[in-house]
């Protein structure tokens, strides 16, 4: 780059000598005798080196130094004077000039000084460029880190968070400003567990990379399964992060996989049960028929004992047959008849059916209807079955461990809700109760809730089961859309 030298001096002979001297070195030279003109000029054409005489026609060259600096913040200034004084030398130093040169001077000395000043200028320019480049690359790096979907966390040697990207904030619920400076394990594993994540971080400090699947807890107490890669960073003297943890949130993927596996299992079971049901029903029918004949002849002959046993066997066969129905309920239902139904009547029917057994178990069994509930298109029999499954679960869970159950029917603008509440012990910990065969009951099939889910889905609706929000116990809610299940009905797998 060609250096630009600005000369401000009213001694025309001297300025011409200086011009020649610097033009010989390849520099561009601008000369001014008038300070005002010089000031106006630097606003549009900054200098690299300014040579300023102290005594100028209208004012002191020292007085113009601040303006000159503004015009060219990277430039250097050399002050020249024929009448050196301690005062003006101090003034020049105060303005941070590069040198204070007494006239007359040796041109070689001036060139030497100028050379030093210009190399300072180019160093300063380079530094400014580099720091601009650094800021740009930092902004780019920050933007990349913030746009990736993985959690990216940097920690220092005490495992304290130094870097926390946008995904980490979104997934965990902790903002970067809140996470900064906190122990990463204490933040993500609030039981303070010094488990695999802590070990991986310590190992990374010693230089070894590693990975592990470690569930973390979000700010709301939700658990997310995260696969972590932990690796050392090149330590920097500024005390930045030493270990980088990058995590992929697998929660949704694992749930999808589990759901896919469960519907695959369900479909396979459907095929199996349809075939089995056919084979089992015939002998069951024959057995029931034979039993009925046996019961009649026993009654005729007055064999009370045989009669009682025949009844027990009949009841057991009935149970077996209804178990078969349950299995079939999970397979593609053959008779799915949609008609306009009154959900309140369905709820009343189910309530009337189970209220006596609840009372016998010492439980209060209430039916609550909230507001107007419109008729909907639904399969009455299956809705009854769904409500019975939920109510029986509630009664079974609450017997001896709570005071009552409640069946509640209500409607919003776009859906009907059927709610079964109890004040029992709540759902068993760590069990996926909506999955087939998940049961805590001796003799339970674990098919009750999957069947309810299936029925809700057939109506385009959902089943949600979880802890009650207003106290101890469980709440199961079937939501059925009003806009016509035919439209909302999901295709069956
Ligand atoms: N209201 C409830 N309170 C507490 N736990 C419940 C409740 N409802 C269901 N559960 C739990 O969910 C499990 C699964 O229920 P599901 O109805 O699917 O099967 P099950 O009741 O065990 O068997 P089955 O319905 O064949 O009798 C139950 O074993 C029970 O542990
Ligand atoms: Mg059940």
**pLDDT tens-digit profile, the chain (493 residues):** 899 999 999 999 999 999 999 999 999 999 999 999 999 999 999 999 999 999 888 888 999 999 999 989 999 999 999 888 888 888 888 989 999 999 999 999 999 999 999 999 999 999 999 999 999 998 998 888 888 889 999 999 889 999 999 999 999 999 999 999 999 998 998 676 678 899 999 999 888 999 999 989 999 888 899 999 999 987 655 666 789 999 999 998 888 888 788 777 777 777 777 777 777 888 888 888 899 999 999 999 999 988 888 888 888 888 788 777 766 766 655 556 788 999 999 999 999 989 999 999 999 999 999 999 999 999 888 899 899 999 999 999 999 999 999 999 999 999 999 999 999 999 999 888 998 888 999 878 888 998 899 889 889 899 999 999 998 999 999 999 997 554 444 444 4
* Distance of alpha carbon 356 from alpha carbon 359, whole angstroms: 5
Nearest CA to ligand 1 atom 28: 439
* Distance of alpha carbon 143 from alpha carbon 488, whole angstroms: 41
**Ligand 1 binding residues, C-beta < 6 A:** 389, 393-394, 397, 422, 424, 426-428, 433, 438-441, 444-449, 474
339-488: in CATH 3.40.50.1980: no
Phi, psi of 12 (to 5 degrees): -60, -40
Structure tokens at 171: 């997934």
State in Å: Cα 480 to ligand 2 middle. Answer: 21
Nearest CA to ligand 1 atom 22: 439
Ligand with an atom nearest the CA of residue 465: 1
Nearest CA to ligand 1 atom 26: 445
CATH topology of domain 4-127: Rossmann fold (3.40.50)
Quick one: how far is CA 180 from the chain centroid?
Answer: 17
Tell me which of 330, 430, 444, 452 to substitute to probe ligand 1's pocket, judged by most ligand atoms within 8 Å of the beta carbon.
444
Beta-bridge mates of residue 210: 230
State in Å: Cα 87 to ligand 2 middle. Answer: 99
Ligand with an atom nearest the CA of residue 475: 1
State in Å: Cα 492 to ligand 1 middle. Answer: 24
Strand order in the sheet with 151-155: 161-164, 151-155, 243-249, 223-232, 210-217
Give the DSSP H/E element, type plus range, for residue 282: helix 251-301
Q: How many Å is the Cα radius of gyration of the chain? A: 43
Sign of CA dihedral 303, 306, 312, 314: negative
What atom of ligand 1 comes closest to residue 393's alpha carbon? 8
Ligand with an atom nearest the CA of residue 429: 1
Nearest CA to ligand 1 atom 5: 427
Ligand with an atom nearest the CA of residue 474: 1
List % helix, strand, coil for the chain (3-state, nearest 5).
50, 20, 30
State in Å: Cα 448 to ligand 1 middle. Answer: 7
Domain ranges of the chain: 4-127, 148-249, 255-330, 339-488
For Cα atoms 401, 406, 411, give the angle at the middle one, nearest 5 degrees: 150
The class (CATH top level) of 148-249 is alpha beta
Tell me which of 319, 393, 478 to substitute to probe ligand 1's pocket, judged by most ligand atoms within 8 Å of the beta carbon.
393
* Distance of alpha carbon 330 from alpha carbon 322, whole angstroms: 13
């Amino acid at each position: 780059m060609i250096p630009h030298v600005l000369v401000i001096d009213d001694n025309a002979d001297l300025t011409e000598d200086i011009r020649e001297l610097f033009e010989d070195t390849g520099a561009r030279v601008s000369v001014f005798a008038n300070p005002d003109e010089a000031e106006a000029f630097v606003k549009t054409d900054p200098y690299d080196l300014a040579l300023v005489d102290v005594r100028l026609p209208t004012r002191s060259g020292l007085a113009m130094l601040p303006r000159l600096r503004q015009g060219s913040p990277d430039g250097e200034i050399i002050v020249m004077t024929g009448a050196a004084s301690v005062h003006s030398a101090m003034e020049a130093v105060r303005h941070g000039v590069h040198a204070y040169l007494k006239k007359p001077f040796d041109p070689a000395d001036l060139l030497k000084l100028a050379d030093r000043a210009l190399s300072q200028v180019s160093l300063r320019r380079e530094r400014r460029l580099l720091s601009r480049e650094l800021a740009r690359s930092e902004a780019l790096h920050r933007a990349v880190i913030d746009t990736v979907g993985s959690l990216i966390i940097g920690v220092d040697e005490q495992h304290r968070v130094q870097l926390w990207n946008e995904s980490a904030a979104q997934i965990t619920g902790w903002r970067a400003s809140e996470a900064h400076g906190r122990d990463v394990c204490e933040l993500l594993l609030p039981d303070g567990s010094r488990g695999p994540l802590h070990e991986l971080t310590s190992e990374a400090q010693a230089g070894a990379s590693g990975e592990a699947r470690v569930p973390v807890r979000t700010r709301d107490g939700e658990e997310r399964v995260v696969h972590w890669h932990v690796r050392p960073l090149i330590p920097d003297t500024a005390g930045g992060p030493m270990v980088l943890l990058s995590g992929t949130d697998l929660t949704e993927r694992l749930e999808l996989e589990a759901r896919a596996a469960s519907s695959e299992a369900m479909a396979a079971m459907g095929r199996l049960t349809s075939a089995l049901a056919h084979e089992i029903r015939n002998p069951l029918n024959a057995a029931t028929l034979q039993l009925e004949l046996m019961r009649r002849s026993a009654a005729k002959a007055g064999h009370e004992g045989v009669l009682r046993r025949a009844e027990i066997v009949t009841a057991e066969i009935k149970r077996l047959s209804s178990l078969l129905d349950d299995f079939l309920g999970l397979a593609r239902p053959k008779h799915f008849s949609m008609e306009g139904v009154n959900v309140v009547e369905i709820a009343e029917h189910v309530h009337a059916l189970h209220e006596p057994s609840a009372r016998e178990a010492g439980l209060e069994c209430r039916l609550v209807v909230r507001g107007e509930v419109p008729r909907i298109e639904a399969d009455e029999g299956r809705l009854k079955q769904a409500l019975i499954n939920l109510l029986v679960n509630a009664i079974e869970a609450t017997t001896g461990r709570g005071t009552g159950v409640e069946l509640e029917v209500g409607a919003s603008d776009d859906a009907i809700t059927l709610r079964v509440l109890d004040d029992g012990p709540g759902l068993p910990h760590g069990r996926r109760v909506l999955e087939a065969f998940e049961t805590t009951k001796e003799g339970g099939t674990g098919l009750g809730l999957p069947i309810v889910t299936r029925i809700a889905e057939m109506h385009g609706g959902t089943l949600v089961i979880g802890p009650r929000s207003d106290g101890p116990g469980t709440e199961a809610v079937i939501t059925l859309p009003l806009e016509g299940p035919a439209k909302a009905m999901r295709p069956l797998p």
